[in-house]
Structure 1
């Protein structure tokens, strides 16, 4: 559950990037900064949301994310990275995926969405994370690549299964969180979206 003043942990091996991100959160948030994976893991238990670089020397963002999930911490994680999404993201336990460069408004909006998401149960959080993965992949891959991907198919099937099981819960969600969590479901399961 978010604290009265939410705490955001900013993780990037480039100090300048962390400093710029910190400016976006100076007023309404407590900010923790880490310049590598080991330091991030030392501070993560004090955070509500982590903005995590994917490509870092030493412990990569993926390894940090895996350790966060292995510790079963109640923290939301957004990958903030210059790495374009590929099908390997299907197995990653993040809640949101942002591709650099990312502006202040997008950072704050993502953190606010993730804080709201913390109020819902695991199925809603999982559905939101799947929506993020589907959107990331659909923005990067062609229709043919998506159709040929077992990972993408598994994500769409899991999304459909979660949609069936969460009908009672969605009535409690605010409209913005509902729309974000369930965006792209029709497209992902056979709608007529115009992709490359």
Structure 2
């Protein structure tokens, strides 16, 4: 039997945090923290996904994320916030970025996608995280603004390099490798359904 995934919701607006918890609690083990300190207290190796607000009263979500990464926690992190993304988001270690308001289906889909990514190799996970950052910033900046930012250009170069490396790995797989990968994924899905 497979363990239920654990989601940590970090949101200082209690009603919103409790609403998110209510939406997700039928499928996941849910923890809720209303402060940065509470988030770090609740965070441990059992947490699979953290939904993190960037604006917390005593410490920013960015600082919570940095502390979590520095402590060695490798859970998937989605910034779920009212803060529109800017170039500073390119330096953060998140896996997805969503601007509030968030609907129930969007939140459920977000958690599901992040959990699915954890099945991939570290290289593919890193690629998805970078691609998510690029997509996030591209929704708020003009092509002219993007072309002038060194961080964005560096991100694009890094994505291209990673894409080439992943393509090389895929090219090395033979038919038996593909069958084995899909068989393992099918078993994981079957176990999650029971």
Q: TM-score, normalised to structure 1's length?
A: 0.83
* Equivalent position of 2:157 in the other structure: 157
Q: For residues 58-97 of structure 1, give each alpha carbon's deviation from its aligned partner in whole angstroms, at most 9, with x where no partner exists.
A: 1210000001111111211000010000000111000000
* Equivalent position of 2:127 in the other structure: 127
How far apart are the structure 2 equivalents of 1:147 and 1:52? 29
Query: 2:80 matched to 1:77?
Result: no
How far 1:136 moved relative to its partner? Answer: 1.0
> In terms of Rg, which structure is larger?
2
Deviates more, 1:124-133 or 1:161-170: 161-170
How far apart are the structure 2 equivalents of 1:147 and 1:121? 31
* Equivalent position of 1:59 in the other structure: 59
How far apart are the structure 1 equivalents of 2:33 and 2:40? 9
How far apart are the structure 2 equivalents of 1:104 and 1:124? 27
Query: 2:43 matched to 1:44?
Result: yes
Query: 2:12 matched to 1:35?
Result: no
| Unaligned 5+ runs, structure 1 | 175-196
Deviates more, 1:91-100 or 1:122-131: 122-131
Deviates more, 1:162-171 or 1:112-121: 162-171
Pair 1:151–1:7, CA change in 2 (3 A): same
| Unaligned 5+ runs, structure 2 | 183-194
**How many pairs does the alignment contain?**
172
* Equivalent position of 1:21 in the other structure: 20
Divergent runs of 4+, >3 A = 169-174
RMSD (Å) for aligned C-alpha atoms: 1.7
Q: TM-score, normalised to structure 2's length?
A: 0.84
How far apart are the structure 1 equivalents of 2:22 and 2:71? 29
Q: For residues 144-195 of structure 1, give each alpha carbon's deviation from its aligned partner in whole angstroms, at most 9, with x where no partner exists.
A: 0011111110110010010011122597688xxxxxxxxxxxxxxxxxxxxx
How far apart are the structure 1 equivalents of 2:151 and 2:9? 29
* Equivalent position of 2:185 in the other structure: none
